[in-house]
């Protein structure tokens, strides 16, 4: 519900929680539950996620937000002197305010293609790295980071994911998938992945809640009983241990009941595809072809200015020829009527 004159497509966290998620917080509010992730809903939500991932030996942990999760997982799983490989457009390379470096780790960038890291490029990087006799004077890569969907809304195919997984195994690298928007990726028509396949192909990933229907929360999945020892202490050391852990666990319990997480995701992608059709039909230029809830178009300054009078969007940079890259996002909340209004504005 817009509290102002604008139509809101600037991001996927502009409204609160999905009503069912909120209701579950209401329903459980007066229960006496122990703190710091020892409550029974943490157990319950973990079990639901393990089932959804078809990984009974997974370890699950709930955190508040994406930056926190990226920094914490990377720092907890790497040795202190190791770096993490990311596409040059990767979220941790561009948008985390140095949260990774704050924990002492270098983000090592490799040029990506459509926002994606290519397995062969990682393979070459590692091979060249150890071919250099002076490699001990540089940062040894210990992890590969990708996000699903990517910063540009694109998705990895099963073949691409498996290729990355194989390269990581070959070179003994931890494979970490940032799934802040994983629901939208999996809901995409172009995507041939599901949660069990993702879980089977990486060491650790997370299932985003903040951007997919929760008030806050990300569920980290250590896919193979490989959660670092003393993890509760590490989480607290990072300032990320929530006293009322129920806030996270209850929400995820609901998101992973009755297929809600996937319905929310599918709804948003459906809305985005409608938006995409409209954009195409109106002749808008796309920056990239995205099959998920984020759509990127290219506008000149005049058009940008004009649209900004009625529409909230995100500025995502400049093209080589100086035009604006504009991002439009859908979410659980986006209604057909919003898309219709958008159509009128466009």
Site for a copy of itself in 56-115 (CB under 8 A): 64-72, 75, 79-81, 83, 94-99, 101-102, 104-107
Judged by CB under 8 A, does residue 140 bind a copy of itself? yes
Judged by CB under 8 A, does residue 116 bind a copy of itself? no
Number of residues that bind a copy of itself (CB under 8 A): 87
Which of 11, 51, 197, 224 binds a copy of itself (CB under 8 A)? It is 11
Contacts of 169 (CB under 8 A, 6+ apart): none
Judged by CB under 8 A, does residue 2 bind a copy of itself? yes
Rounded to the nearest 5 degrees, what angle is found at the Cα of 149, between the Cα atoms of 145 and 150?
60
Which of 120, 170, 196, 236 binds a copy of itself (CB under 8 A)? It is 236
Euclidean distance between CA atoms 51 and 15, whole angstroms: 29
**Nearest distance from C-beta of residue 260 to a copy of itself, angstroms:** 16
For residues 277 and 315, which CB has a smaller minimum distance to a copy of itself in the complex? 315
Which of 129, 158, 171, 215 binds a copy of itself (CB under 8 A)? It is 215
Judged by CB under 8 A, does residue 318 bind a copy of itself? yes
Of 243, 216, 214, 253, residue with least CA distance to 27: 253
For residues 133 and 283, which CB has a smaller minimum distance to a copy of itself in the complex? 133
**Nearest distance from C-beta of residue 312 to a copy of itself, angstroms:** 8
Which of 5, 56, 133, 302 binds a copy of itself (CB under 8 A)? It is 133
How does 209-244 read in b/e, with b if 16+ C-beta sit within 10 Å?
bbbbbbbbbbbbbbbeeebbeebeebbeebebbbee
Euclidean distance between CA atoms 20 and 254, whole angstroms: 7
Judged by CB under 8 A, does residue 130 bind a copy of itself? no
Helix (H) or strand (E) holding 297: strand 294-299
Contacts of 265 (CB under 8 A, 6+ apart): 183, 184, 186, 187, 212, 293
Please state the φ and ψ torsions of residue 87, each to the nearest 5 degrees: -60, 150
- Which residues in 285-314 contact a copy of itself (CB under 8 A)? 312, 314
Q: Check if the beta carbon of residue 105 is closer than 8 Å to that of residue 84.
A: yes
Judged by CB under 8 A, does residue 13 bind a copy of itself? yes
- For β-strands 218-222 and 285-286, DSSP reports them as unpaired
HEC-encoded secondary structure of 249-283: HHHHHHHCCCCHHHHHHHHHHHHHHHHHHHHHHCC
Judged by CB under 8 A, does residue 123 bind a copy of itself? no
Using the rule CB under 8 A, give the single segment among 32-40, 114-122, 157-165, 273-281 that binds a copy of itself: 32-40
Judged by CB under 8 A, does residue 210 bind a copy of itself? yes
Using the rule CB under 8 A, give the single segment among 24-32, 266-274, 276-284, 293-301 that binds a copy of itself: 24-32
């Amino acid at each position: 519900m817009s509290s102002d004159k604008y139509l809101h497509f600037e991001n996927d966290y502009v409204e609160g929680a999905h009503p069912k998620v909120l209701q579950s917080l209401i329903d459980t509010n007066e229960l006496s539950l122990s703190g710091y992730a020892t409550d029974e809903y943490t157990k319950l939500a973990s079990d639901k996620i393990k089932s959804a991932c078809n990984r009974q030996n997974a370890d699950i942990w709930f955190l508040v937000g994406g930056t926190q999760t990226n920094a914490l997982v990377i720092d907890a799983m790497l040795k202190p002197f190791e770096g993490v490989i990311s596409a040059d457009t990767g979220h941790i390379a561009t948008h985390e305010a140095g949260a990774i470096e704050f924990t002492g780790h270098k983000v090592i960038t490799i040029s990506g293609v459509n926002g994606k890291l290519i397995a062969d490029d990682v393979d070459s990087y590692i091979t060249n790295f150890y071919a250099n006799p002076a490699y001990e004077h540089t940062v040894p890569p210990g992890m590969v980071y990708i996000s699903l969907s990517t910063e540009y809304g694109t998705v990895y195919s099963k073949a691409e994911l498996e290729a990355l997984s194989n390269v990581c195994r070959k070179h003994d690298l931890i494979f970490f998938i940032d799934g802040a928007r994983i629901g939208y990726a999996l809901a995409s028509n172009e995507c041939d992945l599901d949660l069990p396949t993702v879980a089977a192909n990486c060491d650790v990933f997370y299932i985003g809640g903040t951007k997919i229907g929760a008030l806050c929360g990300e569920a980290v999945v250590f896919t193979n009983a490989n959660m670092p020892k003393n993890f509760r202490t590490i989480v607290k050391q990072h300032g990320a241990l929530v006293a009322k852990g129920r806030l996270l666990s209850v929400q995820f319990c609901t998101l992973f009941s009755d297929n809600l997480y996937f319905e929310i995701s599918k709804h948003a992608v459906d809305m985005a595809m409608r938006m995409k059709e409209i954009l195409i039909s109106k002749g808008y230029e796309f920056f990239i072809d995205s099959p998920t809830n984020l759509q990127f178009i290219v506008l000149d300054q005049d058009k940008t200015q004009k649209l900004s009078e009625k529409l909230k969007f995100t500025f995502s940079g400049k093209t080589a020829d100086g035009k604006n890259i504009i991002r439009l996002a859908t979410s659980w909340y986006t209604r057909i009527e919003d898309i219709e209004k958008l159509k009128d504005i466009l």
